[in-house]
Structure 1
Amino acid sequence: MEDHSGKSPDHLTINVTHRDDPVFEVTEADAFASVRKYPNIVVRGPLFGLAEQRRGDRPRWRLMGELDTGFPQMVRDELNSHLWFKARDETEDRAERRSLLAAVARLETEKTDEVSACGVRYRVVRADEFARIGDGRLEPPRATDPDDDGWDLDATEPCRTDGFVVDHAAAVGLSEGIGRAGLLQLSYTADRFPADVRADSRRALTTHPGVVLLPTTFRVVERKEMSWSMVTGQYSTPQGARRALVDHLTRPFPELPDLPGMPEVPAWMKVDEKEAAVNERAAKKFMARRRANELIVRGKRFEVVRVERMMRIGPDGPEKSRPSDVDQYGPSQIHPLMDEHGNITHGT
């Protein structure tokens, strides 16, 4: 790493502060206690999302929506759609529309993680998802994590990641500062990761030496003898994950009829009435317990766990996807052609 004289660059600065605030004090104490109880880290793998950098934000970047996608190409397609609809609906200026559509054209043919349009830089960004573990147990939600008590299974889940400013030099508490310092040298070393994945991970320690922690999320996992399997996606609050568990138990896939000429419905999609009744009773008992984080039903152990995401930062901002990151498919045209006047040509 280069020797920097004077003030360290933002991507190398961890600015620790203290606030004379009772809530801050309790949160810090809770964080230190949790790290002592769950001292080790289990890395699940990468997640991808979108970030933008507007003129007034530079050198910082701002996240656009959740960062929860498993493949970078899915995020490139999301950006493709974002820019296409922006060209269709949000401008009448031909020069702006040309700029937006030029970025769309690149995303249709190139496996690129960054495009610019109308003075804004858009980037596919990468983060590693991990959980803390101690005595063979993943960390549950902390008492100080934002939470609620509602059981509306159709409630809209808030997004704490949308609009998050990626600012490595922003002031943080002592617990987060120590946590980030401890993550600086984290890389993939386990044999279960292919050699190219491990090599890219080691390389990132030099190309993107800084670390930023994104807002915490929560998942439901099923604990097995030697491992865990994910049951739900990520949620902004522990209660969101609890609602998702109840939904998983009480709203299974409906049983579909076997139709002539159609493949047989898989057994896992069929609903057994006795099993459904057991799940319904277990869900009701779970909902009666305020902020419960474990449920055992039919021999299965479900746990609500606390999940963190770390994003590596370099001199030019957040890390993009790595060469070893896997895609299931490549770029393609996903919207009809549009000209600078907004005229759309649909295929025949």
Structure 2
Amino acid sequence: MTQYGEQVPDHLLIKIEHRDDPVSAVSEDDARRRSVAYPRLMWGAPVFGSAEEVDGRWRILSLIGNRPQGTRDGLGSHFRRLLSETPDTAETAVERKEYEAAIRLLDWEVVNDLTVNGRRYRIIRAQPFIRMGPDGPEPPRPTDPDPRPVGKGRATGSAGSQMEGFVIDPGASTGLSDGILRMELVPAIYKSAGVLPDEVREDSRRALVTHPNVVLLPVGFTLGEYVDGTWRPRSFSMEPTPGAARELASFTFEDIVPHENASFEEIRAAYNRAIEEFEAPTTDEFEVKGVRCRVTRVESFIRVGADGPETPRPSDWDPEPPPELHFQQLRAEGRMPDLE
């Protein structure tokens, strides 16, 4: 066992700070009550994003993808934007060449770590989970910020993503409830023997060693539905506020298709009618065409080690090749014309 003496490395810290201001006191009480009412943690599929290292800390650029390659493509688009914003002058020639090289690399190769113009970038992996109780998934808490509180009408603006710009800092102080939750999540692994492939469980155990700490990410919200005695996702989108999640209750594609052989024009007309007639629910639990729905609170954490946040695991589902490599494969199979 490694001994650090009095100096514990930052990446191993869980620093709990007593906060006695009224807002923190109410939030802690909410968290305590919900941990009792919704004691079971249910993990969802991992999500992926990109981050950059700034002044020794990793800052999230985006965290929205369910496939690592889609996130790599997004990072390539980020470099394309930076390239377009960099003037084409003699002074910026080296900077532009690095952006161009990074774009080519991501277009052709599976890359999870790279350095561009002296700054490190990484594809990161996060683990979402929800709390479950006897009555189903945890709804929003009274202390969760919401620009359109329960009982109000349609949201008038977007709160934006709380993930973008979030600093992954394991040494930052946290409240008592979050600190206890982090300690609970540190040893958490996939355990479903016989259900999950062996490599998934092995990667999960390995992560305890390579990335031994966890950082909680901003809370998100989605929509669940109760069908055939089971709660399941109605939407796989994660929104930054409960109000934005209520907007997901509008309709699904199946709701608006008038009949099996509907033409595109009929579907478009039905979609436009649905948009005009839709009114967002004013509660966190409601029915849509007889189906019980609930706005559901989604928490997430990311594992961290001495070198920063965890990258995609070898066993993570990653079926897509990089775009240029994919195009090359399609041309070789005769499914895409050769470029002149």
TM-score using structure 2 length: 0.84
- 2:60 corresponds to which of 41, 59, 63: 63
Preserved contact between residue 157 and residue 235 of structure 1 (Cα < 8 Å): no
SS for the counterpart of 2:323 is: coil
Q: For 2:199, which of 196, 200, 203 is the aligned residue? A: 196
Aligned to 2:220: 217
Q: Map of 1:66-105 to 2, 5 A cutoff?
A: 67-92=63-88, 93-105=92-104
For the aligned residue pairs, the C-alpha RMSD in angstroms reads 2.9
Question: Greater CA deviation, 78-87 or 188-197?
Answer: 188-197
Closer, same or farther: CA 170–303 of 1 in aligned 2, 3 Å = same
> Which letter does structure 1 place at the counterpart of 2:9?
P
The 2-side partners of 1:120 and 1:79 are apart by 13
Pick from 183, 186, 190: which aligns with 1:184?
186
Contact 2:220 2:299 in 1 (8 A): yes
| Partner of residue 332, structure 2 | none
Distance apart, 1:181 and its partner CA? 0.4
* Deviation by residue 1:30-88 (Cα, 9 ceiling, x = unmatched): 1111111111100011000110003xx21x100113x1210000000011111122123
Per-residue CA shift, 1:193-215, capped at 9, x if unaligned? Answer: 22211111111111111000100
Give yes or no for contact 2:147–2:155 (8 Å, CA) kept in 1.
no
Alignment of structure 1 residues 102-141 onto 2, 5 Å: 102-141=101-140
- 2: CA distance, partners of 1:254 / 1:124: 38
Q: Secondary structure at the match of 2:251?
A: helix
In the TM superposition, what whole-angstrom CA distance separates every residue of 1:272-327 from its partner, at most 9, and x where no partner exists? 89x979x95xx65x63x4xx111123331111000001100011110000001112
Deviations 1:213-266 (A, max 9, x none): 100000001122234133251111101101221x337996566996xxxxx769
Partner of 1:306: 297
Distance 2:245 2:270 in 1: 24
Runs of 4 or more off by more than 3 Å in structure 1? Answer: 150-155, 249-258, 269-273
2:170 to 168, 171, 188: 168
Deviations along 1:5-50, one digit per CA (max 9) or x if unpaired, are 3211111100000223111111111111111111110001100011
| AA at the equivalent of 1:82 | H
AA aligned to 2:212 is P
Q: Which runs of 5+ in 1 are unaligned?
A: 259-263, 335-346
Change (3 A) 1:257 1:88: farther
Q: 1:103 to 1:153 in 2, by over 3 A?
A: same
| Alpha-carbon offset, residue 110 of structure 1 | 1.4
* 1:208 match: 211
The residue matched to 2:45 in structure 1 has which SS? strand
CA positional deviation for 1:153: 5.8
Name the % identity: 37
CA positional deviation for 1:107: 1.0
Tell me, yes or no, if the aligned pair for 1:48 and 1:125 is still in contact at 8 Å: yes
Structure 1: distance between partners of 2:233 and 2:305:
32
| Number of residue equivalences | 316
Match of 1:329 in 2: 320
Kindly indicate whether residue 38 of structure 2 is the aligned counterpart of residue 19 of structure 1.
no
1:98/1:21 CA distance change after superposition, 3 Å: same
- Deviation per residue, 1:74-119 (Å, 9 max, x gap): 0000111111221232243010011111212221221111111111
SS at match of 1:11: helix
* Residue 241 in structure 1 maps to residue 245 in structure 2: yes
8 Å CA contact retained: 1:44, 1:128: yes
Structure 1 CA distance, aligned partners of 2:252 and 2:48? Answer: 29
In structure 2, the partner of 1:155 is 157
Gaps of 5+ in 2: 326-338
TM-score where L is the length of structure 1: 0.82
Q: Is the 8 A contact 1:53 1:122 kept in 2?
A: yes
Amino acid at match of 2:160: P
**Counterparts in 2 of 1:257 and 1:109: CA distance versus 1, 3 Å:** same
